[in-house]
Amino acid sequence: MSDDLLKAYVFSTELGLSLVKIRKEMLYTKGLLEAAQGRDFAGNSGLKGLLEDLSNKADGAEDALDELHYFMIQDKLDGTREATPELGDGLSGKAQHACHAARHTSGNWLSCFSCCRSQDEDVAAGDDVHNTHSTSNAIAMSVDHSGHDGKLPFDRVAMSNKIKQLIEELHSNCTPVSDLLKIVSGTNPQQHMPAFAKRPDTSSEITQEKLFGRDAIFEKTIEEIISVTQSGKTLSVLPIVGPGGIGKTTFTQHLVNDTRIKQCFPDINIWICVSTNFDVLKLTKEILSCLPATENAGNRTPNETTNLDQLQKSIAERLKSKRFLLVLDDIWECSTAAVVMSGQNC
């Protein structure tokens, strides 16, 4: 067996493995491109160029996968196994790999056509050679006079080799991009913030007059808050969670402005917009600045300190024996609320 034929045979057997590898490599590539999306690299022409190259390579890989998918669909329509990723380790699979290798190296697309028929039409072990040749002739006769049947020919060996090269190209492009992104993020942390990080501030003022489709859950929430406050129990946290854009802020605005809620919390109502730029010291100062000073505090301004412990003690002092409503809006991390509320025994 010649070296070219042997290489072609190996490439044919590796199509399934290469398909798995390139799909994983594509996921990693997309992750890098999405991580870079929204950042400002105007002053880094090198990184911009690498990202463009990586994006082009990803597009090329997508095209190759689309091409392979086309032939896999064609296989289903024809009942063949030309583009089947895994042909198995049996004699039938090995024969098909040999057929593809011979076809690729010789360029003869009909010489071993019988090897690549539908699995249901594979020649049984007991069939004689005469029957095999007869079947090949029958298939060959179905081709029109121009020598083509109107379908795109599939070169399994070339496709496997192409995908393998794309894997290497993607990997070699991903490595420098990943390294540079880490360096840029380390020297300029602000660039690490995604595009959605700059979100508008919110307040307790109602921005949408009508609350649509939330009447039942709205009334249930009101009843729960009233029930807890009237029983003298402490309602620590009432989470309102869900994907962005479904109306959580609007729901909460209507909630805190409802007359019944205002009666439950007549003295202290605080609305803090946390958003993605989380700074526990800044938020603690905001909460403290919204609280009325106690007589014991006098003219002191504890929120001028940068000591988190002192700030939290000042908040606890001002909230002692008081019922209050604190809204932390636009939270993207579950741990954020826990950090803000730590040290508060209210």
What percentage of the chain carries pLDDT values higher than 70? 63
pLDDT, average across residues 303-313: 81
Assigned token pair, 120: 């249901």
What is the structure's pLDDT at 87? 64
CA–CA separation, 35 and 195 (whole Å): 10
What is the structure's pLDDT at 158? 82
**Residue 56 confidence (pLDDT) above 80:** yes
Comparing 68 with 302, which gets the higher pLDDT? 68
What is the structure's pLDDT at 44? 79
pLDDT, average across residues 202-216: 85
Comparing 216 with 11, which gets the higher pLDDT? 216
What is the structure's pLDDT at 337? 57
CA–CA separation, 163 and 248 (whole Å): 46
CA nearest to 103, candidates 12, 165, 3:
12
CA nearest to 272, candidates 316, 325, 329:
329
pLDDT, average across residues 85-101: 67
pLDDT range class, residue 258, cuts 50, 70, 90: very high
Mean pLDDT of the chain: 73
**Residue 137 confidence (pLDDT) above 80:** no
What does the domain layout of the chain look like in residue ranges? 3-192, 215-341
What is the structure's pLDDT at 219? 93
What is the structure's pLDDT at 257? 94
Highest mean pLDDT among 18-22, 256-260, 303-307: 256-260
**Residue 256 confidence (pLDDT) above 90:** yes
Assigned token pair, 295: 């007589």
Helix (H, G, I), strand (E, B) or coil at 324: strand
